[in-house]
Amino acid sequence: MAAPIEFWFDFSSPYGYLASRRIEALAAKFDRGVDWHPMLLGALFQHVGTAPLIDYPLKGDYSRHDILRSAHFHGINEFRMPSRFPIPTQAAARIVLWKKATDPALAVRAAQALFRAYWVDDVDISSPDAAVAAAASAGVDAAAARAAIDDPAVKSALKSEVEQALARGVFGSPFVFVDGEPFWGLDRFDQIERWLSTGGF
């Protein structure tokens, strides 16, 4: 099997959530795995000098509309704008990173459960307890996950991920690498598919 696709995302990113619903099937079609990389958009935005989409005049209103329309367009009906948005996602990201070190497959299921909690069930996963409950629903040990959130080694691992993201040129979510080739946004999935199919264009 060829190298996995890298999937970088923030749990608070709506297009990141929509991408999370499509990325595994897209990769599997070309016999690829997916390496899930939770990270923190806030740190990236600070570096780049951008802000969350919805904070901009005009662009914010458009984006709220486009997010819902894009969900429909991609046939993802399990979607609602959360009551609180955007949110800090350190707790969710740390749980996934911590679990990834010992059981990557379970870490992916935890990530999917965390996305679902926030984007389908309107659970505020910025709360460590809520994030733990979502991950536990996927089979993660709750007490160990709760401890991981405050573990200095896990905190440090997330900081390293964010630094690696910046060093790789990541500035938004979702951000995908296919054999090193960077693709930003759910709306590059058509280009990703052709890239996987042809090896480049």
Question: Considering only 92-100, 135-143, 148-156, 189-197, which stretch makes contact with a second copy by CB under 8 A?
Answer: 189-197
Distance CA 197, CA 191 (A): 10
Distance CA 141, CA 156 (A): 21
Q: Least distance in Å: CB of 59 to a second copy?
A: 5
Q: Least distance in Å: CB of 140 to a second copy?
A: 33
Q: Which is nearer to a second copy, 47 or 84 (CB)?
A: 47
Query: Residues 6 or more apart from 74 whose CB is under 8 A from it?
Result: 18, 21, 22, 186
Among residue numbers 118 through 137, which ones bind a second copy (CB under 8 A)? none
Question: Considering only 9-17, 22-30, 43-51, 126-134, which stretch makes contact with a second copy by CB under 8 A?
Answer: 43-51
Under the binding rule (CB under 8 A), the answer on residue 188 touching a second copy is yes
Under the binding rule (CB under 8 A), the answer on residue 187 touching a second copy is yes
* Edge-to-edge strands, sheet with 5-9: 34-38, 5-9, 175-178, 181-184
| Burial category of 33 from C-beta neighbours within 10 Å (exposed 0-12, middle 13-18, buried 19 and up) | middle
Under the binding rule (CB under 8 A), the answer on residue 179 touching a second copy is no
List 35, 50, 81, 144, residue binding a second copy (CB under 8 A): 50
Residue 182 main-chain phi, psi, to 5 deg: -90, 140
Under the binding rule (CB under 8 A), the answer on residue 43 touching a second copy is no
Under the binding rule (CB under 8 A), the answer on residue 169 touching a second copy is yes
List 2, 3, 62, 139, residue binding a second copy (CB under 8 A): 62
Distance CA 155, CA 152 (A): 5
